[in-house]
Amino acid sequence: MFLSKRGKYWYVFYLDELTGKRSMKSTKTKIKGEALKFVSELKEGLKPKPRVIAMSDLKTEVLNHIKYHLRKGSILLYESSFRRMKRQWGNILIKFITSDHIEKYKIDRLNNDVTKSTVNIELRTMHAIFNLAVLWALFK
């Protein structure tokens, strides 16, 4: 993204993410300071916004993705992790999940006579789920 003066007015040139082509937009100002302010506002407007997504929607998207990339045993791990997360937290919006939720999940699972290695396998699967959500810009 760069700023250029064409005639009397300042223009912004940027790469349009949808089309993959370079685009030009007028700042409608003759003053460089105002044009720079316009550029910073335009940058904020072009950033992808995370979607508001619930746990059930995340489950659908992740399971649709992994059924083509993982083995059947791994898919069963993901499904059971989603069942346990839903039982523990309900259909929470994923942007509200914090490290406290994860810690309470671990403590609850360990208090239910589950071994540490089982809990670690579940946490590893949850980590992979949330990494996919971050990769897909579903949340930060």
- Is pLDDT of 63 > 90? yes
CB 140 within 8 A of CB 50: yes
- Residue % of the chain over a pLDDT of 70: 94
**Would you state the pLDDT for residue 18?**
64
Domain segments of the chain as ranges: 2-46, 55-135
**Would you state the pLDDT for residue 76?**
96
**Would you state the pLDDT for residue 49?**
64
DSSP string over 30-58: S-HHHHHHHHHHHHHHHSPPPPP-BHHHH
**Would you state the pLDDT for residue 48?**
64
Take residue 95 and report the two structure tokens written for it: 């942007």
Of the candidates 21, 25, 20, 26, the one whose C-alpha atom is nearest the C-alpha of residue 8 is 26
Does 51 or 127 have the greater pLDDT score? 127
CB 12: neighbour CB atoms within 10 A? 19
Give the separation between CA 134 and CA 58, rounded to whole angstroms.
11
- Is pLDDT of 55 > 90? yes
In terms of Cβ atoms closer than 10 Å to its own Cβ (0-12, 13-18, 19+), residue 58 is buried
**Which DSSP helix (H) or strand (E) runs through 104?**
helix 99-111
Quick: pLDDT tens for 14-24: 887 667 788 88
Quick: pLDDT tens for 30-50: 999 999 998 888 888 776 666
How does the average pLDDT of the chain come out, rounded? 90
- Is pLDDT of 73 > 80? yes
Quick: pLDDT tens for 74-120: 999 999 999 999 999 999 999 899 999 999 999 999 999 899 999 99
Give the distance, in angstroms, between the CA of residue 6 and the centroid of all CA atoms in the same chain.
38
Residues 6+ apart with CB under 8 A from 46: 14, 17
Rounded to two decimals, what is the model's pTM? 0.66
Q: Which CATH class is domain 55-135?
A: mainly alpha
